[in-house]
Amino acid sequence: MRKKLLALLLTSCCFLFSGCNFMLPNVEELLQPPTLSEEQSAILEALQNSGLGENIQLKYPKNGEYRSAFVRHDLDGDGFAEALVFYQDPSNESRARIGILDYREDLGWERVFDYPGSNSEIDQIQFVNITNQPNSSDLVIGWASASPRESKTLSLYHYQDRRLKVLAQESYDELAIVNFHNPGYDDIVLLEHSYNGQELIAKLLTLTEDGTIGLVGEDYRLPYSYTEYVQITSGKLSDGNSALFIDGYLNDSILCTSVIYYDFAAEQLSSPLLFRNEEEVDDYTESTLRTAQVYSRDINGDGVMEIPIRSYVSVPGYEQQEDLDGIYYYEFVSITPEGLSRSPLYFVNSEQRYMIRLPDEWGGRVTLTQTPRSNEWRLWVYNGSLNNLTEELLRIKTYSQNDYHDKLELESYQLIASNGLTEYYAYIPPSQNQEYYFTYEIIEKEIFMML
């Protein structure tokens, strides 16, 4: 999709300029670096004056919480935050580097350590506690190349005596900080992408029994090959154990959720979606296949993560649909030792980014119709046919805040939510069926939910 949009943009630009010699400007030249703060300018000047000169280029992490070339963090637990600077000296090498500077009252900022990275770009940086050293942090840096199809390199460092010690280096495509193996401090799960349909591997990097950092147990092979990860979230299972919830695409339209955790009995990563009986293993991962763009979340605020699945309950009137693109009820289920829990039913509108939660007693009795031109969904009491619906229960309509709002059309609607870009309106017909009674307040608090 992104490639199509880029092609369309470039084509549009060609029509704006006459002649055959039009050349696109260099993208790098169009990107202006952020304005530095007074402190950042002082740190950069100290780095340049330490012998590097003025030709160094600052490098900015592309993902994660930290997106600046300058990061302040107390690495050694002395109560003062060191300055980390990511840069490249193109006159000497193609790799990015990390410089660490300390501040002294009499001298100001001074470079105390400098270390080359594993590649030219920085994917992300994170501060973790893996070594369980008191009053200090371990540093995770993901080094990347300019090609998105090349694996990245995770480097795990510990800073002591003004030096970075390399604790581990592993390849990855995505990573997540979890608490699986060692209670009270961090572990790292490393994941791969799939470019040719090959099996994906998850690896656990942690503090081992002999006090070193390394991979624990065998690699875990995910049951499906993801082409793109959408969301990777660490959360709790219903039994209190930690797990990693992985939502991603299997192709251009089909989403799937894998869940992995550390099995202490087997001493390796496994999946709580695998249920073993005497004869075979049932893999419930297939139950999570869907086209609706909805992802794992703690939907009821109980501290336990739920995963979205298509419900076994058919939407009245749509029982004969056989593909994933049809209209379905969805459920958010938690994983228990006995299997997947049941949950309330939801209609999921992934295009307009909201869900409608149905009360338990409505399941199998309420259906849905769509009017795409007006961005409106309507809920009805099902009376045996989609062609003869008479008892309307609810309408949900969306407007972009930049769109024209027909005031006459919205006179009977009530605004129930807004996310800054889209406004959501509800309408309750005046001849409301008392068996399905609800108010606008109930809609806002219990029935309607933004994605």
pLDDT by residue, tens only, the chain of 451 residues: 444 443 443 344 333 333 333 333 444 444 556 788 999 999 999 999 998 888 899 999 999 999 999 999 999 988 999 999 999 988 888 899 999 999 988 889 999 999 999 999 999 999 999 988 877 889 999 999 988 778 899 999 999 999 999 999 999 999 999 999 888 889 999 998 666 656 678 999 999 888 899 999 888 888 888 888 899 999 999 999 999 999 999 888 899 999 999 999 989 999 999 887 666 677 889 999 999 999 999 998 999 999 999 988 889 999 887 777 778 899 999 998 888 888 899 999 988 999 999 888 888 899 999 987 778 999 999 999 999 899 999 999 998 877 767 666 778 899 999 988 899 999 999 877 788 888 999 999 999 999 8
Residue 243 CB-half CA count within 13 A: 30
d(CA 52, CA 87): 11
pLDDT of res. 433: 78
Start-to-end CA distance of the chain, whole Å, equals: 21
pLDDT of res. 7: 43
d(CA 161, CA 184): 25
Read out DSSP for 277-299?
A: -SS-EEEGGGGG-BSS----B-T
Q: To which H or E segment does residue 270 belong?
A: strand 268-270
**167 Rama sector, left if φ>0, alpha if ψ -120 to 50, beta otherwise:** alpha
pLDDT of res. 33: 63
pLDDT of res. 120: 93
pLDDT of res. 192: 81
pLDDT of res. 28: 45
Among candidate residues 441, 345, 435, the one with its CA nearest the CA of residue 391: 435
Among candidate residues 247, 183, 243, 191, the one with its CA nearest the CA of residue 220: 191
Q: Which residues pair with 269 in a beta bridge?
A: 262
pLDDT of res. 278: 63
